[in-house]
Structure formats: C-alpha cells, structure tokens
Amino acid sequence: MIAAFGGWNDACQAATDVIRHLLNVYESREIGHICCDSYYDYQSSRPMMCTIQGRKRIVWPETTFYEIEIDEHTKLYVEMGPEPNFHWSDFCQRSLRFADEYEVTDMITIGSMFAECAHTRALPVSNSDGDDDTGDDDTYSGPVGIPTVLHYAAAEDGFEARSLWVSVPQYLGGDECPAATMRLLEEVSAIMDLSLEEGDLPSQAEKWRAKADMLVRCNDDLSDYVHHLERHMDEHSPGHDVSTPHARQLVEETEEFLRSFDHPATE
C-alpha cells in the first residue's frame, strides 16, 4: 500500500500526484473511505462545492482507498486524502486495519518538502525504513506529519514500512513539480521491483526544467544562488540521495550565502 496526504506534507502536490498518476495510467477502483467528521477541521480542510451531472453537491474532505491492477499478477493499494487535523493515532489504526483486510504486508508512505536544492540536479529523495533509530546525533528532530506517524505505526504493527520524501526547489514556488513526482515514482518502482508506467511525466518534467531554466537566466542573483546549490550538491552528495539532516545543513549554508547580498563585504 502507498499512502500520500495533501497539505503540509505535500509540497507542490508532488506526493499526491504520484497517486493520481497511478490512478490515471492503470485500471483502478474505489474500495473504501475513512469518513471525515472525526478527523478534520473544516476551517482548514474546507468542503468543496462541485457540480456533478448537472447538480450541485458538497464534497467533504475524506481519505479514499483504491485498488490498482498493475498487471494480471500484481495489485497495488493506495490511500490518499487531506492530512487529518485530529485523532492521528486512531486514524492510523483505521488505515492499518484496512491494510490488514486486504492482506497488505508492505506500507510505503510518501511526501514532498520544500528544500534548498537545484532544479538542474536529480531531486534528492530520502528513503528510510521503520527501524532507523540509530542513536546518531545527526538524525532528524523536529515537526512531523501524518506520513511519518503512519510510517512508524505500520512498522510497530509488523508491516514492512518505507518512508520516501522528495525535496522540491523552494525558489520555484508552489506550482506542480512533475520532476519530483517522477522521482518518487522511480523510488517506488525500485522498492517494489516493478517498472511502473511513467506516462507523460518525463515530458512534463522537461517542460518544468525548461521553465525553471528561463526563470534563472532572467535573474542574475537567482542564477548565482542556483550555481551555489549546484556546487554544494556536487560536493556533498555525488550520486547519492540527500537525507533530511543534509537538507537542513544546506538550508543553513544557503541562508548564509543569501545574507551576503544584504551585507556586502567592504574593502
């Protein structure tokens, strides 16, 4: 089962777009819901007014489960919805009971975060299992979202649990990021040892990079900033994914770099 949630955990919708992509390219069907009233604050996850078959309807936020047929031998289950506001422990247990009902043994939670990384390089992906309490002082400490809570709950309940987070260049704003969606899809494919269909993601990712290239060419300061990020990524992670602690270090160094524009050195 792959789980993704909108909101704080989903920069540029890159994680939930993985689910939408799979639903678009494969045969799928809805198989269940976690209803909304106990889990959502409607002032932060508002109901939506929609017109369906000529009639206006209010669509309430909820989490939906789907069954996806990858091929005649392989079925994949996915979970998608807004991040809940309340009762996270109960929400996770309901998700895991649903996974048990369909004899799921492996759980992959996916998310995306804004970070200081360059669009000209492969977007970093952190990949962790449910047993990464290494005691290392460099492990991440800080706020977490529902993907992390579900990830650890799944590991504690005996699932083979994986957590994937892709970094999205913060300087490009909040538009959709197909390159990040494709990176997550590639990692999911590797974990599952399947060649999942990429559809039009490669062409969309190239358009995204071309748009970013044009933006950088039009702004000298941004160009210098991107070159700084490139050098850092090349020096610290050649051929490797960047973990959350490395991303935090990169944020600190790039903030120092940007402050140099506000306080130029005097001769």
CATH code, domain carrying 244 = 3.40.50.10900
- Sorting pLDDT into bands at 50, 70 and 90, what band is 173? confident
Looking at the predicted structure, is the pLDDT value of residue 249 above 80?
no
CA dihedral 179, 185, 188, 194 (to 10 degrees): -130
Q: Are 115 and 40 in contact (CB under 8 A)?
A: no
Lowest mean pLDDT among 156-165, 184-193, 251-260: 251-260
- pLDDT value at residue 174: 82
Residue 120 scores a pLDDT above 80: yes
Domain range enclosing 168: 2-262
Predicted model pTM: 0.83
Given a cut of 70, is residue 257 above it in pLDDT?
A: no
Would you give the end-to-end CA distance of the chain in angstroms? 60
Residue 70: count of CB within 10 angstroms of its CB: 17
Give residue 14's pLDDT.
98
- The DSSP output letter for 177 is -
Strand 106-115 relative to strand 125-129, pairing: unpaired
What's the chain's average pLDDT? 87
- The mean pLDDT value for 154-159 works out to 96
pLDDT tens track for 122-142: 999 999 886 655 444 456 788
Contact 44, 59 (CB under 8 A): no
Alpha helices in the chain (DSSP H): 14-25, 88-101, 146-156, 178-192, 201-217, 220-236, 244-262
Residue 200 lies in a domain: yes
260 backbone dihedrals φ, ψ, rounded to 5°: -65, -25
The residue that leads in pLDDT, 47 or 29, is 29
Contact 250, 258 (CB under 8 A): no
pLDDT of 266 strictly over 80: no
Least confident of 50-64, 203-217, 239-253: 239-253
Is 267 among the domain residues?
Answer: no
**Phi, psi at residue 95, to the nearest 5°?**
-60, -45
pLDDT at 42 (0 to 100): 85
Rounded Cα distance, 2 and 108, in Å: 5
Average pLDDT rounded to a whole number, residues 75-82: 96
Give dist(CA 83, CA 96) in Å, integer.
16
Judge whether 215 lies within some domain. Answer: yes
Closest alpha carbon to 164 in 178, 185, 133, 144: 185
Judged against a pLDDT cut of 60, whether residue 255 lies above it is answered with no
* Residue where the block lists tokens 């996806």: 68
Percent of the chain with pLDDT over 70: 85
In the chain, the number of structural domains is 1
Q: Please tell me the least confidently modeled range out of 11-20, 178-187, 213-222.
A: 213-222
Least confident of 24-28, 87-91, 206-210, 238-242: 238-242
Task: Record the tokens describing residue 134, joined without a space.
Answer: 């290494």
